[in-house]
Amino acid sequence: MKKISLIVALATMALGANAQNATVNSKFADNMFVSLQGGVYEPTIGQSVFGDMRPVVRLEIGKYFTPTIGFSVSGDALINMNNANRKSFLFYDNSFSKTPKTAFDFSNVSANALINLNNLFLGYKGQPSPVELVANAGIGWGHVYGKSYYGIEEKNCGTANFGLSLNFNASDAWAINLKPAITYILSNDRYNTHWVLDSRNSYLQLTAGVTYKFANSNGTHHFVFCDKKYSQSEMDELNGRINSLRGEINGKNKTIADLEAALAAERAKDKTVIVNETKVNQTQLAPVVIFDQGKSIINKAQQPSVQMIATYMKNHPESKVTIKGYASPEGSAELNQKLSENRAKAVYNMLVNTYKINANRLEWQGLGATSEVFPENDWNRVCVFLEDAK
């Protein structure tokens, strides 16, 4: 029992000892395989060399978690040659037990740990080697079939198996296998041995067959290296930056939502508010566009005022509007005149090009510096809108 515990402990340690796990891309359903084999078995200690040799078939399904470490479940069926003169090497007494009359002498279902020795000692190069050597160790459940001629009943037993598999990779998906192994029967009445590895209660097995490796999510039938390896500290730093950016985006979304709400509230108001009647039968509309000192570019904060005029004109298709640009008194008259014209022209272009207002419904004028539109000089860097009388 101590030996079995040691075997299980070593297999468990091997599963956690490989560091290549972080160097390859692999999903849960990747790197699975199925293997079908046939061969012969014989008691390790028999009455004669090859005297008790019989056929065996084996089916194995498994998965590799890393290029080095894998796991499989296998089933062996030891075929009975149905020779009444042969004695069964399992659970027999020389005085009366003979081979049972069943198709199989013995079956064994086993869970196995797999270690690719090539990748363990030589390292994985990004694709399988042409020839690979894989060690396996497993524990399982065995069953003796049928009754002997003298009435010995069917019987269950624990098993432990050890083996090597020589794999010849014929292609990315297919491999040819040659596998020698030994299986121990862990309980046997003949020698009164239970849960120990005793060669008298074991059989040797040699099988050959083929393995099919299923296609992976990466498009191949094997492990593929990651483009870049990240340490835990690098991953933590990246996650921190992602969370910080998410916070900034959420803050900006909140600001945008507030602006949209304010704009919607403005749109809900009456856009035809009359400020005053001009001396030339024109009505000044409420929105104004304010410019930075010395600039004729409409910044984003002022664009809603232009949009309000565009909305009004679309809702009133008969309306015609004159855009008047102004400058504050600083600077020369020539400079202020040009600046006021550029401001009026900028608003005109936005209404025509961005909001698709017919140019025939618009006029623009640059009126230079003024202190008459607003009482504060700084406020007069503006464009105002006047609707022609109908």
How many angstroms from the chain centroid is the CA of residue 5?
A: 37
Write down the pLDDT at residue 106. 82
* Residue 157 reports pLDDT greater than 90: no
Q: Kindly state whether residues 301 and 210 are assigned to the same domain.
A: no
Confidence of residue 21 (pLDDT cuts 50, 70, 90): very low
Give the CATH number of the domain where residue 161 resides.
Answer: 2.40.160.20
CA angle 32, 55, 200 (to 5 degrees): 95
If one compares 313 and 284, the residue with the highest pLDDT of the two is 313
If one compares 36 and 97, the residue with the highest pLDDT of the two is 36
Write down the pLDDT at residue 373. 66
Q: Kindly state whether residues 272 and 208 are assigned to the same domain.
A: no
If one compares 279 and 231, the residue with the highest pLDDT of the two is 231
Rg of the Cα trace of the chain?
A: 44
| pLDDT (mean) for 80-102 | 50
> Final residue of a domain: which of 198, 228, 258?
228
Per-residue pLDDT of 234-266, as tens digits, reads 777 887 888 888 777 777 766 777 777 777 666
Give the residues across from 162 on adjacent strands.
137, 182
Distance (Å, rounded) from C-alpha 127 to C-alpha 140? Answer: 32
303-315 and 232-268 are packed helices; what angle lies between their axes, rounded to 10 degrees? 40
Q: Kindly state whether residues 173 and 317 are assigned to the same domain.
A: no
Q: Confirm whether 263 is domain-assigned.
A: no
> Final residue of a domain: which of 163, 198, 228?
228
Write down the pLDDT at residue 87. 47
Write down the pLDDT at residue 389. 73
Q: Kindly state whether residues 77 and 132 are assigned to the same domain.
A: yes
Write down the pLDDT at residue 149. 39
Confidence of residue 330 (pLDDT cuts 50, 70, 90): confident
Give the range of the structural domain holding residue 337, as residue numbers without chain letter: 268-388
Q: Confirm whether 247 is domain-assigned.
A: no
Distance (Å, rounded) from C-alpha 14 to C-alpha 115? Answer: 8
Contact 46, 70 (CB under 8 A): no
Q: Confirm whether 150 is domain-assigned.
A: yes
Q: Kindly state whether residues 310 and 374 are assigned to the same domain.
A: yes
- Locate 55 and state its tokens: 């056929």
Distance (Å, rounded) from C-alpha 388 to C-alpha 282? Answer: 5
Number of domains in the chain: 2
Q: Confirm whether 251 is domain-assigned.
A: no
Other C-beta atoms closer than 10 Å to the C-beta of 78 total 23
Give the CATH number of the domain where residue 303 resides.
Answer: 3.30.1330.60
* Residue 281 reports pLDDT greater than 80: no
Write down the pLDDT at residue 116. 95
Distance (Å, rounded) from C-alpha 78 to C-alpha 318? Answer: 98
Q: Confirm whether 243 is domain-assigned.
A: no
Per-residue pLDDT of 31-90, as tens digits, reads 999 999 999 988 887 654 555 678 999 999 999 999 999 999 999 998 876 554 444 445
- Locate 248 and state its tokens: 């900034």
Per-residue pLDDT of 344-390, as tens digits, reads 999 999 999 999 999 999 999 998 887 666 767 777 788 888 888 76
Q: Kindly state whether residues 11 and 155 are assigned to the same domain.
A: yes
Q: Kindly state whether residues 76 and 168 are assigned to the same domain.
A: yes
Phi, psi dihedral angles at 217 (to 5 degrees): -70, -20
Q: Kindly state whether residues 8 and 57 are assigned to the same domain.
A: yes
Write down the pLDDT at residue 15. 41
Token pair 């008459």 is found at: 372
Q: Confirm whether 240 is domain-assigned.
A: no
If one compares 190 and 185, the residue with the highest pLDDT of the two is 185
Q: Kindly state whether residues 204 and 70 are assigned to the same domain.
A: yes
Q: Kindly state whether residues 337 and 202 are assigned to the same domain.
A: no
Mean pLDDT of the chain: 78
Q: Kindly state whether residues 302 and 200 are assigned to the same domain.
A: no
Q: Kindly state whether residues 332 and 194 are assigned to the same domain.
A: no
| pLDDT (mean) for 97-124 | 83
